Structure 1
């Protein structure tokens, strides 16, 4: 099983593809496929047939997954997007940090 440095509810910046430059919150991480679903990014339209138990039918818009390599973590404190790393604090706990980045 692969390890990702992006977690659910992280703020990310899309760095390539049709939605390049958009920011959004991660809804879901698909670890086995190396993909993420980001709120408001890669919107697709699906035609949903009426069935019992389905609330909305017809043309339904929703987010599709994008490759994990196409997003970059945004540091919540500084607002800078960049590559991530780990830092060990004095009390021994590990935290994620943005090592290098660019303003978004």
Structure 2
């Protein structure tokens, strides 16, 4: 699955890995590396050195997931779906859910 099929602020579900079954909103996408960061998923501990502006300590932050490990959530029934593309009458290319045929882009 290419990163173009999943964009920032999309609702996705994790389909593989330690967080399988968790859902969340995409907060960052790295299209060249095929990676996405999902809010509340794949939490890792990061050791932060103290600086003049920020306190040190152990932070919990989201790490990137490979795009193949997440699936888009169908807007109609909230289940995982594949994403396809369709060209509308006015010439716009939009993403559609393969499961229901519902247009994802507004």
| TM value normalised by structure 2 | 0.84
Aligned to 1:100: 99
- Residue correspondences, number: 99
Residue range with higher mean Cα deviation, 37-46 or 69-78: 69-78
Structure 1 residue runs of 5 or longer lacking an equivalent are: none
Aligned to 2:75: 76
Q: Give the deviation of 1:47 after TM superposition.
A: 1.2
The structure that is strand-richer by fraction is: 1
Structure 2 residue runs of 5 or longer lacking an equivalent are: 101-106
- Say whether the 8 Å CA contact 1:27–1:39 is kept in structure 2: yes
Q: Give the deviation of 1:49 after TM superposition.
A: 1.1
Distance (Å, rounded) in 2 between the aligned partners of 1:94 and 1:46? 40
| Aligned CA-pair RMSD | 1.7
* Aligned pairs for 1:8-87 within 5 A: 8-54=8-54, 56-87=55-86
- Say whether the 8 Å CA contact 1:83–1:99 is kept in structure 2: yes
Distance (Å, rounded) in 2 between the aligned partners of 1:76 and 1:67? 22
- Say whether the 8 Å CA contact 2:74–2:99 is kept in structure 1: no
